[in-house]
Amino acid sequence: LWTSSSSSLVTHYISSRSASSTKAVKSKLPIQGDNWNLSRRNRVRLRWLGYWSPRIVLFIWGASFVFAGAYLLKKSVDTEGFTTNFSPGSGGDVGKGEYSLIDHDGHKFTREDTLGKYMLIYFGFTFCPDVCPVEMTKLADIADILKARGIGLDVLQPTFVSVDYRRDTPEMIKNYMRQYTKGDDKKILGLCGTREQMEHFARIMKTYFSDPPQLEEDYILEHSTYMYFTGKDGAFKHLTNTEDSPQVLANKIALWIAEDNGKVSKIKEQIKQVFV
């Protein structure tokens, strides 16, 4: 006999089978949302890439910036272009060769123009950001100290030689030196020249400077920071010490001039140098 209880049992059975079938279908579908149907290894790889990818990109960008800066610095300094490999002031023939340059008034200047005077020569360039301004101030101060002692420009000629033959013109050099000479164009002699002239003069003086790059406009140059003291015959006599003050250098130059004129014996000069 079919009763209501039998009907309830059948309905319950059909409902149970239907629910089981639905669960089976759902279990075969990919997992939705954040839990993709991926293996544990793939999920680890995705997390690793998500963590490191932006950091790798930042590292590569930073490294590229550093290498680009290093390359531009190398190009601006151009350390492979040193004109000479001589040690400053070495050799007995220093300053004895003939040369021709241009002074800050645009006139030709040769070794013949130095005869009869002592010269204190500093090599630099007008765009020099740090060392040259210090040494140029020192050069002007030395001239003032010596002038007060009776050693004027008729005895010693302070001289600035530009190694930047690409940018420094006589007019630029004249304007540059006025910053240190207070408008006195005769206090410091400015010299410049072509590449060939400057390289020849550098060989004569046994100094060095880096070759200006041909493409860049904003660059710095390596060069000697010594001052060269030459005799009345144009020959090299002494190198100054960069660490010395203008007062100390003026004392030394006065002694060198006195010794060269036979007014101070060499032994006395050596003793005095210790206490200067």
- What average pLDDT score do residues 139-144 get? 96
Question: Which range among 35-39, 65-69, 120-124, 236-240 shows the weakest confidence by mean pLDDT?
Answer: 35-39
Which position has the higher pLDDT, 146 or 182?
A: 146
The most confident of the ranges 86-90, 187-191, 201-205, 239-243 is 187-191
d(CA 174, CA 189): 9
* pLDDT above 70: residue 220: yes
Model confidence pLDDT, tens digit, residues 171-180: 999 999 999 9
Cβ atoms 265, 259 nearer than 8 A:
yes
Q: How many CB atoms lie within 10 A of CB 71?
A: 10
* Confidence label for 75 from pLDDT (cuts 50, 70 and 90): very low
| pLDDT score at 8 | 55
**Mean per-residue pLDDT over the chain, rounded:** 77
Say how far apart CA 29 and CA 18 lie, in whole Å.
17
Total-model pTM: 0.63
- Note the pLDDT of residue 54: 79
- 92 pLDDT exceeds 60? no
Tokens of 114: 């130095």
Query: Looking at the predicted structure, is the pLDDT value of residue 86 above 50?
Result: no
- Would you say residue 223 has pLDDT above 70? yes
**Which of 213 and 117 is assigned the larger pLDDT?**
117
- Longest CA–CA separation in the chain, Å: 151
Q: What percent of the chain has pLDDT over 70?
A: 70
Mapped onto helix, strand or coil, the DSSP state of residue 17 is helix
Predicted confidence (pLDDT) per residue in 23-66, tens digit: 444 444 444 444 556 677 777 777 777 777 777 888 887 777 67
Highest mean pLDDT: which range of 17-31, 62-76, 214-228: 214-228
Percentage, residues of the chain above pLDDT 90: 37
What's the pLDDT score for residue 108? 96
The predicted pLDDT at position 274 comes to 53
Contact status, residue 134 vs residue 66, Cβ threshold 8 Å: no
pLDDT of residue 94: 58
H helical segments located in 93-130: none
Question: Of residues 34 and 238, which shows the higher confidence score?
Answer: 238
